[in-house]
Structure formats: structure tokens, C-alpha cells
A and B are shown apart, each in its own frame.
Chain A
Amino acid sequence: MKFKAFLTDSGISLLEKRFLPALDKLGKLCHLYFTRDHFILLHNLLSGDGIQAIAQFRTAVLFDDYRISSQNDDRIAFSVDISLLLRAVRSSAAVWTGDGGSTDSSDHRLQIKLVKKLPANSTQPMPFLSFETKGHRSAVIQDVPISKPLSRSLVLELQTALDAAQSLPATLVQAPDMHKLQGFVDRMRNLGDSLNVTISKYGGIHLQISTTLLTLGAEFQNLLVIGDRAHQAPNDQSLSAQARLESALVKGDAQSVQVSVKHFAKSLHCHLVKPDCTFYGIGDLGSCLTVIFQFFVPGSRQTDKSISFHCRLPVQNSGAD
């Protein structure tokens, strides 16, 4: 089992400034999964509860000179403490740029590789992901402890979970202004634990907290819809937000799920990845709330297919049927 690659400039900045900080907010552990063509960061895919997050990159987006070999069809997966990984990438990047590395990237490169080493006070060699930075004046090696590589069956399980998580909701609605949404959710989170999220084919997102003492909600309308859409009856506009919600649910033009407010607030942290667009949708039969982050090819409005990132929020119990 061998893995070795050089991180590119853009790869370092994607991981250091965007993806690792976002995943760090979601939780402590993360699976790293390398295949011949892809590098995938997976959060919570095997454990089942909590938010799941999947960030997938074509290897060329992050790496140069990417070499992988394993008896399991050249696939390697292991888990790592995401904050340690982030620290290693951060300090490697600092050594590298501090040493004038970015001026001539052919000489000064950041290599990562899988190694087995004998840690101090131990007789058992342990696996590490090793970061090796060579600058003009210094070379720094950092070893990030990782789990034992996953067994063939676990890798298969991971791949199956990954494939299952790829299905797209029938209707996706573009998220409203993120600052507004984040501010709203931050302030409403004291008021309840469960959040009803309704997505309508008219391009509406409706968030509602409901307790015995209070019902509080926010309705965002006229958002971009991808997939199944429908036209709202013109007189719906004169109704109250709650009446519109009822009417859309009755007509089958909207679907509703209940998620944890905490999970929803956490999923908003994923905006640290600085996506160009964000979409919300509800999985088949109300199985989960899916958040899809879209990235454009720099300087264009075309989807960058080499990067994908999405989250799935578990449903507490199915909302309105």
C-alpha cells in the first residue's frame, strides 16, 4: 500500500483556507479516501447519525505527481483528526510560503505520503500521513497520526455509502443570502431544538420552529429552482406565509422535514468552503435534508465538475406527510 503526491498551490489553499476549516466545524474525525482519480473527504458516513458531509476532488485539482497503489483496486482510506490535519497543512503552507516557495514551485514543494513509523516509547510501528516541506533554507517534516487503513470490506462499505449519498433531490432551491440566513438561524436557535424545513417547487424555503409557547418562522421566496418546479397560484401571494406553506403542502408542491436546529446551524458553517451557490433539497421520501454547494470554474458561471461538496442532515421524524 503506497501513496505519495505533491500538493499544488491551489490544492493547499483549497484545503487550508476552505475545506478543512469547514470540516473542522462539523466534527473531530474525518475519513480520507484516495482512489486513482479522486480524493474524498468524508464526515460521518459510516457512523450513521449526525450530519454527513462529502467533499470530492479530482486528484489534479489538489495534487501533482499523484501516485497510489494498493491491493484493493488502488483505493486507500483511513480516518484522521481533522484539526491535526488542518494544523499540519497550515504550518506546512506557512513554512513553504515563508521560505519564498511560491516563487518557484518546481524546487519547493509540499509532499504528502503515507508512512509507517515507530513512535517514541512504542514497539509497534504506527501509520502516519507525513507532510514534507522543502524550502530554500529549511526542510520540515510533520507526521499526522492516522487510523490503520480501512479493511477491504470497510472501504467497500464507505464506497457504498458514498454512492448512496450521491442521489440528488428532485427539487433543489437556491439558498437565500447566506448572511441573512446565518444571522436568522443564530438568533432563533435559543427558541427551540427542532426546525421544520419546507422546500417548495415554487422556489421557496420555509424554516419554522414550533413549541407550545411559540411558532416562529421565516419564508424566503422567489429563489432559483433546479429540477421539479411548479407555478404558484397568483392569489397565493395575498396569503400569509403560513397559509402559503399549508397550501403548497396540500397541493403536493412542497415537502417538509424536521431537522435539529443544531445540525442546521452547523451546516451553515460549511460556507467556510466559499461556494459560488448553495442549494437546499429534500431527499427521496423525506430521508434527509440535502445541502449542495456549487463551485464555478474561476472567472465563469460554469459548474466546476472537478470539485463537489454536499451535506446531508438527518431527519428527526418525517414532517407533514
Chain B
Amino acid sequence: MSSSQVIEAPDLICQLDSVQGMVNALSAVRWKRYQDAMIELSEHGIVLIVEESGCLQAKVYMQSELFIRYEYNAQGRPRFGVSLGLLVDSLNTFSVPGHPSAIEIQYPGPDMQLLLKSTDSLDACIYAEIRTTIPETISWDYISEPVGITPHSFIVKSSALKEAIDDLEWPGSSIDITLQPSPPSVTFKGEGHGDLQIDFMYYVNTDLLTTFNCDRLVSHRYKYKFLRATITNLPSSVIKENRGSKFTIGRGGMLKVQHLVSVARLSDARPNANSTDQYQTRKIAFVEFFLKPEVDSDDY
């Protein structure tokens, strides 16, 4: 690296035509007030990662196609740390209800800040400079399944999932998720201050459980508070659009929960659903949670 005085192009300058979508996507992984997040930039897009106590990790993927402009100039993949709450609250100040607010995001600024700037009004300009930090290393990374192995998975309507997880608050503590091939069904079972079992039967109600892949019985136990974190801050649009949330149980019981969050402008999302479906699918941010199962044995 040369230390010349030539002003280099920043690693990333990108523009988004509606900030609200980004606020929604990032809010989905905000399960407590103070959370440090790591952001990784690449030519493919922006990934934000948060994790908690080595057991829960969440990633928000915003691919470069979501942006109306995406200029990536870095070598390698720059990473930086930022307070998630501060980032979401700052982005939120750019959002004007009922009005798509376009913003420009730049990294780094002169002092390694993350710079935000509104771009859609000549007479009013909102800007923010957010201090970034050297990122903490992420303690673990989800390794995708080896080729040829189909992991056990199912897709459940997001609203039904939210209801189920809300209901499971009552028994609390730990929740068993069981998939069984015959009859094809998914069971959420909570034991704590009493029992509660919620069954999703694949053939009985295909509206609720839209996809189901399972060839043998699998059952793992997860902490309720982490399971709840995957759904509590989901933007209302996800529940309304009710596309479905995908659960995948991989090796060792690693659970991946994936939601699709629309980041399309409101005006694009409104007109009749069919014609915009295709467009909207391109304007989707992926929000993924990874949960480690609770270990029963004494090597806790």
C-alpha cells in the first residue's frame, strides 16, 4: 500500500432509492439495545453480521442489485465494526413516512467513518457520519452443507411462525423442534412451566407449511430466547406479505432461519401484486439467523 497524497476513491459508494427497506432489514436482527455489528463489503453487496454469546448469529445480506448505484473500489473485503442501534436509528432519521427517501452510503470517510447522505431533495439535506471500529472477529461461521447432502428443511408462513413462537413464550426456556417424514410434520414443543406443543402437518395444511424436506426423524433443542430473537423484530411487511420463512437444520443441529425482507419502494410494492412480483423478488434482502442447539450432555 502506498501512502501517497492522492485522494483515492472510497471503498464503496452506493445509493438506495428507499431507505426504509434497509431500516426494516437491519431492524430484523436488532434483538437488544446495544449490539455491535460487523459490516463486510464486497463487489456482491453488503453483509451485516451480529452475534450473541457464541450461540446466535444473524446476517443481513443486501446484494448490490438492491442499490441503484453500487461502486465498489476495494481490494479484498473491507470489514468494519459499527453499533447496530446507532446505524438503524441514523438510517431511520432519513426516512419520511409515505415518501421514498433516497440515500447515498459511503465508506470510508476521511476519518474511517461510515457516511450517509440524503440525495433526493435540493432544499433539504440530511447527513450522518457514524464512527466505525476495528471489527471483532466473528467467533464462528456457518459452513454450508457439503454438496450432495440435502439438509432437512421446511418453509412456514411467517405469520403462522410468529404466532407459534409467541405462544411458546408461556412454557419458555427450551424448545424442541422435531421434523418427521411420516406423517410429514414439524413439531415445536416447549417444556418449562407446563408443556405446549404446536404441530404443523404438511399434508393437512399446505398453506401453512409450503415446503418440507425430511427423510428421517430429526429433533433438536434450542433456547427459546434465541428462537424468539429470530422473529420478534421482523418488520410488519414480512408478516403482511407472508412469503414464508425457511428453517434448515444442518449438521450437528445447526438451525438456520431465513426471512425475505422486501426493500422495494412503497410505490413499487403497491400496484397489483402479480405484475410486480418479479420486480419485487429482485428487491429482497436476505435475513438469516444461525442458532446452535442446546447440548444435553455434560460438556455444556
Contact = CB atoms under 8 A, between A and B. Distances in A.
B125 interface: yes
Contact of B90 (A183, A191, A220, A240): A191
Contacts, number: 63
Interface string B68-111: 00000000000000010010011011011100000000000000
B124 interface: yes
A180 B129 CA distance: 21
Nearest to B83: A213
A222 B127 CA distance: 18
A306 interface: no
B126 interface: yes
B223 interface: no
B130 interface: yes
B131 A220 contact: no
A102 to B, nearest CB: 37
A94 interface: no
A241 B128 contact: no
Interface residues of B, number: 20
Contacts of B296: none
Contact of B127 (A180, A190, A220, A241): A241
B123 A221 contact: yes
A221 B124 contact: yes
Interface string B116-154: 010000111111111100000000000000000000000
A219 B131 contact: no
A62 to B, nearest CB: 36
Interface in A170-188: 176, 180, 183-184, 187-188
Interface in B228-266: none
Interface string A181-223: 0011001101100000000000000000000111111111111
Contact of B96 (A183, A188, A212): A183
Given A180-B96, A188-B93, A213 B123 contact: no
Contact of A215 (B92, B124, B125, B128): B128
A187 B93 contact: yes
Contacts of B93: 184, 187-188, 191, 216, 218
A207 B1 CA distance: 39
A241 B131 contact: no
Name the interface size band of chain A.
Answer: 20 to 34
Contacts of B126: 184, 216-219
Contacts of A216: 90, 93, 126-129
Contacts of B127: 216-219, 240-242
B86 A213 contact: yes
A176 B89 contact: no
Nearest to B118: A218
B125 A219 contact: yes
Given A191-B90, A219-B124, A219-B125, A183 B97 contact: yes
Contact of A218 (B89, B97, B125, B130): B125
Contacts of A219: 124-127
Interface string A231-270: 0000000001110000000000000000000000000000
Contacts of A240: 117, 127
Interface of B: 83, 86, 89-90, 92-93, 95-97, 117, 122-131
What are the 3 closest A-B residue pairs judged by CB atoms, nearest first?
A216-B128, A187-B93, A215-B129
22 contacts: A176-B124, A183-B96, A187-B92, A187-B93, A188-B93, A191-B86, A191-B90, A212-B131, A213-B83, A214-B90, A216-B93, A216-B128, A217-B126, A217-B127, A217-B128, A218-B93, A218-B127, A219-B125, A221-B123, A240-B117, A241-B125, A241-B127
Interface of A: 176, 180, 183-184, 187-188, 190-191, 212-223, 240-242
